[in-house]
Structure 1
Amino acid sequence: MILIYDIVLLLCFIPVLLLLALRSLRRKNDEFAYKLTERLGNWDVSPLKNPRKPLLWFHCASVGEVRAIEPLIKTLDEYSILLTTLTPTGNAYAIKSRSADFVYLAPIDFTFVVEKVLSAVQPRGLVLVETEF
């Protein structure tokens, strides 16, 4: 079942990737390649490896979730905090607010990408933040 999910996702991802690449070329935006590699899980994880502080990973969709989780994160001094977001605006806000130790765009939902990131990061826990119930 996971293989079918990955295949369907890949079939949808290829045309979207091509459209985004064309849009990026038209706008002369070199950030596209950087963001794509980040979404594919190519993170510099060496700073995440702090043996003195366990790592907690918070995943937020956008700015609203990042803002909602900030008070909780401020109480967790005994942890290193990794924060991922789905949207570029959420990512930019998280970086600017400095509420987390590490901020990345969320990895794309391919099994091999998620497994790669989880094995590299090895968080103590993962908190999925959702404010739209």
Structure 2
Amino acid sequence: MLETVQPDLVMLTGEKNDPHGTHMMCESAFDRAAEKYEGGPFQRWNYRGAWDDYQTHEGDYFSVFDKARMEKKIDLILDHISQLDPLFPGDQSKEFWERARDRNRENARQLQRLGVLPPSRSFDPLYAEVFQFGE
């Protein structure tokens, strides 16, 4: 797929605490493919999900989005059958999609408190995903 698409940017999970091990398997498969890739250079950005979030102070890039995009993200999570009732370390009782929504909302709030984003002037909240630049 790398040869066909020849991406400028690849976004992968940088997550190491996925209790299912799926993220590490995907990382390994991608790394093996990237070693054989003969196309142009690309940037790698890592994100994390509910298992081991990046804190805002750890971020290199923040993708800010609105309520409509968050609803689309929730729909995609609900379409991903492995995320419907995943194991979660600790005593978290929320559904996976609720944790994603709350985490992305809190990321945006922290960016607002830091002055990176302006305060919300409407009833539509902002959300943000935190990325780190990878190797």
With the length of structure 1 as denominator, give the TM-score of the two structures: 0.30
Bigger share in helix = 1
With the length of structure 2 as denominator, give the TM-score of the two structures: 0.30
